[in-house]
Amino acid sequence: MMFEIPKDRSRNSKLRWLAFAMSTIIVSTILIVFVGNQAFSSDNVHKDSLIGKVTTSPLNVTVSGYGKFVPSTQRGINALSGGHIVEVFKKPGSLVKQGQIILSLNNPKLERLMETSELALLEEQANQLRIKAESIQALDDQRSQIRLAKVRLALADAELVAHKKLKDNQVISTLDLHKAQVAWEQEDAILQMELSRLQTLKKTRKAIDDSGQYRLEKAIKQRELLVSEVEQLNVRASMDGMLTELSDGLDIGRHVDEGQAVGMIADLSSYYARINITASDAEYVSSGLIASIQFKGIEIFGQVSRVEPTVTNGSVEIDISFNTQLPAAVRPNIDVNARIEVADHENALVVNRPVGVIRPHREYSLFVLDESSEIFQLRRVRIGDIAGEKMQVLDGAYQGEQILMRVPKHLANASQIMVADIYE
């Protein structure tokens, strides 16, 4: 039997792996060189990114912002009477009708005061009846006294007439006639006094009646007020709409103070958009500008109706109103995005915005390619509106001219730049 000597397989394996590694390195080097040449030697790429050409084209300038839909009409809900919460009937988002109960309160002290006011009212009503009866009786008594005084005066008058006839016939003396005259004057004075007393009594009794009537009316008003306050323990909706807010902490058993705000109701028939824009953009926005609102994939158009004159935390608040019927999806406090059209130029000189050009309607020192197409000369260029990465050229550059978009750092202080230098 013959035995074969085994070959050295480990050496062959090492040689194959070495050959594979060398091949991989060579292929990678070729790819790097090829891609590098494509990436770094293409003049077109450099030119597209470093040079902008002035052309005539439309330019639509807009300002963006964000905000929410706000109902045009909103009313707060206040607890007109204080008490402890017994039940909460409605939650935010509920549709409510005017007069519908939102929550109910309990106030035993107020209810006891109402019961006391009812007793006070009954007492004043009885007192008023007593006063009226006393007035009638007093006036009747005084009128009786007047009637008696008139009778006595009539008798005295008859006696005086008789005495005068007797005196004329010399039956009685002058003294007797004088006595009859005095008696008549006395009865006449008594009648006048009783008549005067009647007038005074009428005024006195009227004052007493009025005073009693005032106390009665006060008791009636007091009771009506307490009845109203007890009724107001049911906090009701002030109008038709949606309950958009309820104050925090309105739990059963919690105390609510009189006059405390407990919620908000919104009228769902009309809205406006309240939008926040940056303070730098606000100087270009004015009332009457057209605006579009985007939400939930829907776009609607309106116009700016108000611009807040003050800046808060770097932003300005504006309102956008609508003249058309809004979609059914509109609801209070839905987040929206807004775009306000500041300007719309049909034929403007437009170029890409160079680095460093930030604010519109300014003059900037920009490098413009000269007629030789070899040197960028520093020139004062006045720009107008800016829309994203595009800007309007008003003066200093003309159609077809080319502007350097980005100045290399090593040439930042140069007054002119060779075209060849920007690709170094």
> For 115-174, how does the pLDDT look when each residue is reduced to its tens digit (9 = 90+)?
999 999 999 999 999 999 999 999 999 999 999 999 999 999 999 999 899 888 888 888
**Which pLDDT belongs to residue 7?**
47
Identify the residue with better confidence: 390 or 34.
Answer: 390
Rounded CA separation 387/342 (Å)? 10
Model confidence at 47: pLDDT above 60 = no
Supply the CATH classification number for the domain 51-66+266-422.
2.40.30.170
Q: What's the confidence (pLDDT) of residue 415?
A: 86
Strand ranges for 7-100 from DSSP E: 51-53, 55-71, 74-78, 83-88, 95-96
Confidence of residue 33 (pLDDT cuts 50, 70, 90): very low
Residue 24 has pLDDT above 80, yes or no: no
**How many C-alpha atoms does 107 have within 13 Å on its Cβ side?**
26
Helix (H, G, I), strand (E, B) or coil at 216: helix
Whether 88 and 103 have beta carbons less than 8 Å apart is answered as: yes
Residue 333 DSSP class: T
Residue for token digits 């070959």?
A: 7
Give the tokens for residue 419.
């075209």
Q: Percent of the chain scored above 90 by pLDDT?
A: 65
> Which CATH number applies to 75-103+234-265: 2.40.50.100, 3.90.660.10, 2.130.10.10, 1.10.3720.10?
2.40.50.100
56: confidence class by pLDDT, cuts 50, 70, 90:
very high
Task: Return the residue matching tokens 């929550």.
Answer: 103
> Do the Cβ atoms of 319 and 271 come closer than 8 Å?
no
70, burial (CB in 10 Å: exposed 0-12, middle 13-18, buried 19+): middle
Return the C-alpha torsion angle 47, 416, 412, 396, nearest 10: -80
Q: Which of 286, 257, 287 is nearest to 85 (CA)?
A: 257
Over 60: is that where the pLDDT of 183 sits? yes
CA atoms lying within 13 Å on the CB side of residue 279:
7
The token duo for 45 is 């790429």
214 closest CA partner among 131, 114, 140: 131
Q: Residue range 297-313: average pLDDT?
A: 93
Provide the residue type at 111 as one letter: E
Q: Answer yes or no: are the C-beta atoms of 341 and 291 closer than 8 Å.
A: yes
CA distance 61 to 41: 36
Q: Kindly report the average pLDDT of the chain as a whole number.
A: 87
Separation between Cα atoms, residue 145 and residue 151, nearest integer Å = 10
More confident residue, 338 or 388: 338
Strand, helix or coil at 65? strand
The backbone torsions φ and ψ at residue 374, rounded to the nearest 5 degrees and listed phi first, read: -120, -25
Question: How many angstroms separate the CA atoms of 187 and 180, rounded?
Answer: 11
